[in-house]
Chains A and B, each alone.
Chain A
Amino acid sequence: MLSSYQITILTTIGIYAILVVGLNVIVGYAGQISLGHAAFFGIGAYTAGILTTKFGISPLVGLIAAMLVTGFIGFLLGFPSIRVRDDFLAITTIGMNFIVESIFLYTPFLGGALGIGGIPRLTIMGVKLKGVSFLMAVVLTLILCMLFVKRFVSSWSGLAAEAIKENEKAALSVGISIVRYKLMAFVIGSAIAGIGGAYYAYFVRFISPSDFNFPVSVMLLSMLVVGGIGTLWGPIVGAFILGILPEIFRPLVDYRMLLYSSLLILMIRFQPQGLLGEDSFLNGVFSKIKIKRQVS
């Protein structure tokens, strides 16, 4: 069936997809630009890593703890983010990423530059998950996250968050608490990133600060933008395309990153609304197919 190489790539893409689904709640639905998502990814991974290696807590509990801790830190870090807007917010979140990374790097308890090794595999009801079964768990979690986000978006809170995204003043004038819903989006997005982080820890089983640096945040946001900000399937499409491209380009060795960044420039330049965004090329094709079906 699938070779272990393919399973590894698919699992990585699945974890990225979970992270981007979380980012989409913050950026796509609440309109809060974030270039520091890797910080929450890292907090989730470190929470799971520390709890399982230093306190001997079972990985499944570690996963849930990672979600809660990351959500809580997202709540705390959400406060400074609410005070600033647009470009200021983008830079503030970059700053948070740098600060969180240097905390990982300079705290001896967190393993410093060496990181944390020997993280156990995820075990559910006595069954150690690895290979295909781990991939299944990731995909299942991804689907759950997407279902949750879908529900959130159509709920009252989701609508309120979207109203804030469209026009803050108008939203405020109809009695929507901006602070509350922005924070809520931040917490949900970070908590989902925490889940992704925990899966990452159980998957690679060795984490170090550089796994969660600023370029990772850029990659996650690029995935979201390429896929289509604020769409349900955009995060999956984006994570898949940008996750698989480096693998396709692998035979090119030295020119791999150049080709990757050039493609990213082209995609942003010609499809800035994302592949699945409003009036994008793909959407046009889909709606044409739909119209044809209705006609026939």
Chain B
Amino acid sequence: MQLFIEQVFNGLAEGSIYALISLGLTLVYGVLRILHVAHAGIYTIGAYVGLFTYNLTGSLVASLFVSMTVCAILGILIEKYIYYPLLKYPPYVPLIAGIAIYLAIEEVCRLIAGPYIISFPAKLPFESSTIMGITITAPQKLIFMATIIVLLFQWFLVTKTETGLAMRCTSQDIEIAGAMGINTQYIISLTFAIGSAVAAIAGILVGIHDNQVYPTMGEVPAYKSLAIIVLGGLGSVPGAVIASLLLGVIEALLVGYVSIPLPREALAFIAMIIVFMIKPEGLIGKN
């Protein structure tokens, strides 16, 4: 039983990370209807910038702040100069552009920081605790805290503020939103900035949790987060969060208990295809 609960917690931690990564992807899909694969590249950059800042300053807060700023700017640049001009073309054009950007980012990271794994020796202000024989590690606590804060912030922004209203409006119809006097350019850039900043947080958290940062760390999240946002019903934030947590827990349990002859990565896609067969609009589809 203890092992089971620990596995569930491991799965939830993993799922929270998926949720943080998929959040940006879902937001971007919501406004622009594109699959933003380069997002995983931003996540990698976030981890590297966070690690370098941490090594320079020794402060986790500074590292988060600098990394989020850098990633937000990068996200806006990618949106403004690559995606936006390609919106009028079929969806595979921005998709390939995104994949190409991702590859370029991976190469830049490899050339600057080297192809090897760098450890992320962060000192956390709290320690791992054991409640009734169940251990929750310090990085896991950090992940849970960060995820809850980010999701609360996101919920507050979208549902309680005027900017959130404009964001929801833009995601329903860009042209009508523009006609209603909403600065859609600004909203789109803001969406990219928020999504990319959250990806930076995810990058740092994964770096601390696994104690490693490496150029190709974005590869698996890049594809898996695609499956997640589809499972969650493209563009739905609650759907993506639920799908992330579910996937994290299911993966942890399956890997812990059943020896399946398939890697974790294939699992997400098998689940996705099964869901498609039964419910083509995703778990929490709009229809």
Contact = CB atoms under 8 A, between A and B. Distances in A.
Contact of B234 (A87, A105, A106, A258): A87
B97 A92 contact: no
A92 B276 CA distance: 9
A272 B85 CA distance: 10
Interface residues of A, number: 39
Nearest to B261: A106
B272 A92 contact: yes
A83 B107 contact: no
B97 A99 contact: no
A145 interface: no
A269 B97 contact: yes
Contact of A265 (B90, B104, B226, B234): B104
B269 A98 contact: yes
| Chain A interface, >50% SS class | helix
Interface stretch (A146-154, A187-195, A214-222): A214-222
Contacts of A269: 82, 85-86, 97
Interface string B267-280: 00110110011001
A115 interface: no
Interface string B17-41: 0000000000001000101000000
A258 B96 contact: no
| Chain B interface, >50% SS class | helix
A209 B77 CA distance: 37
A101 B266 CA distance: 9
Given A265-B104, A269-B85, A273-B89, A99 B276 contact: no
B223 A94 contact: yes
B263 interface: yes
B21 to A, nearest CB: 15
Contacts, number: 112
A86 B230 contact: no
A234 to B, nearest CB: 14
A102 interface: yes
B23 to A, nearest CB: 17
B100 A261 contact: yes
B86 A94 contact: no
A95 B234 contact: no
B269 A261 contact: no
A260 to B, nearest CB: 8
A265 B104 CA distance: 9
Interface string A225-260: 100000000000000000000000000001101101
B104 A88 contact: no
A90 B266 contact: no
A92 B86 CA distance: 23
Contact of A94 (B91, B96, B226): B226
Contacts of B86: 268-269, 272
A80 B89 CA distance: 25
A84 interface: yes
A159 B226 CA distance: 33
Given A80-B277, A98-B269, A265-B82, 7 more contacts: A27-B92, A87-B234, A88-B276, A88-B280, A91-B226, A255-B111, A268-B97
21 contacts: A27-B92, A80-B276, A84-B276, A87-B29, A87-B234, A90-B95, A91-B226, A95-B273, A98-B223, A98-B266, A99-B266, A99-B270, A102-B262, A225-B92, A254-B111, A261-B103, A265-B97, A265-B100, A265-B101, A265-B104, A268-B86
Interface of B: 29, 33, 35, 82, 85-86, 89-93, 95-97, 99-101, 103-104, 107-108, 111, 223, 226-227, 230, 234, 261-263, 265-266, 269-270, 272-273, 276-277, 280
Q: Report the 5 A-B pairs with minimum CB-CB distance, sorted nearest first.
A: A95-B269, A261-B103, A258-B107, A261-B104, A264-B100
